[in-house]
Amino acid sequence: MHGWVGHNVYGAELERVLLDSAAIDRRVRELGDSISRDYAGRELLAVGILKGALIFLADLVRRLTVPVAIDFVAVGSYGAGTESSGAVRILKDLEQDIAGRHVLLVEDIVDTGLTLNYLLEIFRARAPASLRVCVLLDKPERRRVPVPIDYCGFVIPDEFVVGYGLDYNERYRHLSDIVVLRREVYRGNSV
């Protein structure tokens, strides 16, 4: 049974399941295996971008077989809308120094690339030993600036998705599937 089926309050707002929890779990396991192989013999600092990457990061680090520390950064660019403003700012910075450390930036979704590009510039200036990117979802057709993605869960079409950490106005993060949100919901029409 899909994670959102029992949430009748959302039923009319959700169009269809794009990625079910079994597919997500399988891919997170594969990503964890790849990252563990690549960082064998080294300690990793996994940096989750709040709030969207929280669930993905938690599942991912439990799949790693290398020593891993965790930190978070929060950035603002969306507000309550569905389109990035292009102006990115740090709302919560890292608590740990990343100089000389192997850093894996973990993001839920990359569309325009503006947020990720901004963070990569800031983090590179802090002189990590290495800096790589792991994203759960990539929407390449929305890209406005090129960004490197070292580990990618899924390439998805340009649809508004929620669940597994992704939200719309702070709703739907708890869903275990990744689901397409009906256009009427975020365009302001009633469902």
Q: Tokens 């002189």, residue?
A: 127
Active site residues: 111
What is the count of structural domains for the chain? 1
| The pairing of beta strand 130-138 with beta strand 102-110 | parallel
Res 144: pLDDT: 95
pLDDT at 122 over 50: yes
Question: Which residues span the domain enclosing 152?
Answer: 22-158
pTM given for the model = 0.89
pLDDT band at 186 (very low <50, low <70, confident <90, very high): confident
CATH code of residue 143: 3.40.50.2020
- Does a structural domain hold residue 92? yes
- Does a structural domain hold residue 52? yes
- Does a structural domain hold residue 180? no
